[in-house]
Amino acid sequence: MTKGIVSFKDWQKFDLRVGEILEVEDIEGADKLFKLKIDLGTETRVLVAGLKGYYTKPELEGKRVIVFCNLEPRMIRGIESKGMVLAAVNGDKSEVKLLQADGVVELGGKVS
- Domain CATH for 51: 2.40.50.140
Residue 6 domain-assigned? no
Could you give the number of structural domains in the chain? Answer: 1
Residue 4 has a pLDDT of 87
Residue 2 has a pLDDT of 67
Residue 20 domain-assigned? yes
What is the DSSP secondary structure assignment for residue 59, as one 8-state letter? H
Residue 74 domain-assigned? yes
What is the DSSP secondary structure assignment for residue 79, as one 8-state letter? E
Residue 97 domain-assigned? yes
Residue 36 domain-assigned? yes
CA angle 49, 51, 52 (to 5 degrees): 120
Residue 112 domain-assigned? no
Q: CA 27, CA 46: separation in Å to the nearest integer?
A: 13
- Tell me the pLDDT of the chain (112 aa) as tens digits: 567 899 999 999 999 999 999 999 999 999 999 999 999 999 999 999 999 999 999 999 999 999 999 999 999 999 999 999 999 999 998 999 999 999 889 999 999 9
Residue 104 has a pLDDT of 85
What is the DSSP secondary structure assignment for residue 6, as one 8-state letter? -
Residue 98 domain-assigned? yes
Show the domain range for 72. 12-106
Residue 7 domain-assigned? no
Residue 30 in contact with residue 77, Cβ under 8 Å? yes
